[in-house]
Structure 1
Amino acid sequence: MRSRIRMVTWKRWKKIRTRFENLMKAGISKGTSMDVGKHYWRVAHSPILTKALSNERFKRIGYLSFSECYSAK
């Protein structure tokens, strides 16, 4: 599910400049942020985007993981 959220987020950042700026805001270095491609599903699984859009960030935003929903029952 989080891979899908990463993919949708990457698609939402349509322009290259927007992607670059958002990766820089997330703490990815300038040289590393230029190595990301355009294939959305591959990028969603890349270490760069996984680091930029980490699970901790999703937790702060309010997304729950499946394991947290399961253990809450």
Structure 2
Amino acid sequence: YGITPSMSRRGNPYDNAMAENFFSILKTECIYRRKPATFSEANDMIDRYIQFYNHERIQTKAGVAPLTLRHSY
């Protein structure tokens, strides 16, 4: 299919660290707690979680939600 993986070098996927972290949190806090029965239900759960993650969930390092931090610059 001509797909190229997104990697900096072999064995150093540092450019994916933020995405990997987010998807780990998404699975832990959303998907594993209540397994969706259908694709539609999973889609709705993920949409709601992303909204919650960006607007309400307090990030440990920053002490505020991600959008609050971005808008403070």
Q: TM-score when scaled to structure 1?
A: 0.32
If asked which structure has higher relative contact order (CA below 8 Å, sep 6+), I would say 1
Structure of larger gyration radius: 2
